[in-house]
Amino acid sequence: MNVGLVGLGLVGTALAKRLLGAGLKVTGFDIDAARRDAFTALGGHAVTTVADVARDCPRIISAVFNTEQLADVIEGAGGVLATADGKKRTILNVTTSDPDKVAALAARITSGGVTLLEVPISGTSAEVEAGKGVGLIAGPEES
């Protein structure tokens, strides 16, 4: 299975280490080239656009900074919605987000074959890396 990861900061890197450690293939993107290089050094496959992640990965974790960046990852030019070409994609949002804006975003994107799950994580990046973080998942039951 190929898992996408957008945002390779502290939390994104901790998640990448867990996923790679479990033997999964992880394709990742960050706007910072140094973070992409560090991700590659961990064994991940770094790409230079969100579109590259969306083309290759049916499941994508978004670990960006805020709700506006999340919306751009999904709805922006070259984002998941524009790139998925109707293929089913599931996005797991671990970003601290405005719940009303995320609910509205989730409603807007379903017709494009994209499902947004809200997955807040309790724990620091070090705890996540050690497998001690807790994620709570909310979204459509069929996802």
The 10s digit of each residue's pLDDT in 125-142 is 999 999 999 988 888 877
Q: How confident is the model at residue 20 (pLDDT cuts 50, 70, 90)?
A: very high
| Cα(56)–Cα(27) distance, integer angstroms | 8
Counts for the chain of helices (H) and strands (E), in that order: 7, 8
| Cα(53)–Cα(42) distance, integer angstroms | 17
Token readout for 73 is 């990852």
As a whole number, mean pLDDT of residues 32-48 equals 98
Is residue 118 within 8 A of residue 70, CB to CB? The reply is: no
Is residue 20 within 8 A of residue 43, CB to CB? The reply is: yes
In the numeric block, the tokens 């190929």 are attached to: 2
- CB atoms near residue 36 (< 10 Å): 19
In the numeric block, the tokens 């998942």 are attached to: 137
Residue 37: pLDDT above 80? Answer: yes
Enclosing H/E stretch for 6: strand 2-6
The 10s digit of each residue's pLDDT in 47-97 is 999 999 999 999 999 999 999 999 999 999 999 999 988 789 999 999 989
Of the chain, the percentage scoring pLDDT greater than 70 comes to 99
